[in-house]
Amino acid sequence: MSAWIAPAPRDWPGRARWLADAAAGKQVSPALCESPQAAALLAEMARVFCAGAWPSAVILAQAVIDAELAARLAAGNDDPMALNALRFGADFVWLRDRRNRLIHGSDEDGRRRVLTLVDVTDGGGGDQAAWERDARRAVKVVLDALAS
C-alpha cells in the first residue's frame, strides 16, 4: 500500500464499535472534557484509530491527556492525588514514553531509530498487530484519564 492511499475502510466499523464500547464502559465522551482542545483531539484520535493509523492514535492520545491536564490545572479543580496519577501512573508513563519514542525516534534503550513507511503501511513489513495493540492501550489510557 502506498503512503498516499487511505487504509481500507473494511475494519472501520469494528474499530468504531470497540472504541464506542470502551468509551461507554468508562462513561467518556468529548462533551465531558474540561478542555475544548482535549475534546477536539479526542475526536481526532478516534478518527485516526478507526482508520488504523496506529502511531497517530498513540501520539494524539498523549495530546488529549496533555490538553485535559492543562485545563484541569488551570481551573484548579482537580485533586492533587488524581493529578499525580495522571502524571506518574505506570500506564501514563508508558504512553508518554511511547509517544516520545515515536516523535523523537528512539527505542526503549535510547538508541536512535527513525519511524519509517515500512513501519506504518500495510504490506510494508511492519508489525501492524503490535502497532494496533499499542494504539488500543493508548486509547484505554486516555479513557481512564478522562474518567478520573
The secondary structure of 73-139 as a DSSP string is HHHT-S-HHHHHHHHHSHHHHHHHHHHHHHHHTB-TTS-B----HHHHSTTTTS-HHHHHHHHHHHH
CA dist 66 and 71 (Å) reads 9
Q: Rg of the chain's alpha carbons, rounded to an integer?
A: 16
Task: Determine the pLDDT at residue 1.
Answer: 46
Residues of the chain scoring pLDDT < 70 = 1-8, 77-78, 106-126
One-letter amino acid of 147: A
What residue type is assigned to position 120 of the chain?
Answer: V
pLDDT on residue 4: 60
pLDDT given at position 61: 97
Q: Which pLDDT belongs to residue 62?
A: 97
- Alpha-carbon distance 134 to 127, whole Å? 11
Rounded to the nearest 10 degrees, the angle between the axes of helix 90-104 and helix 80-88 is 50
Cell 487504509, residue? 7
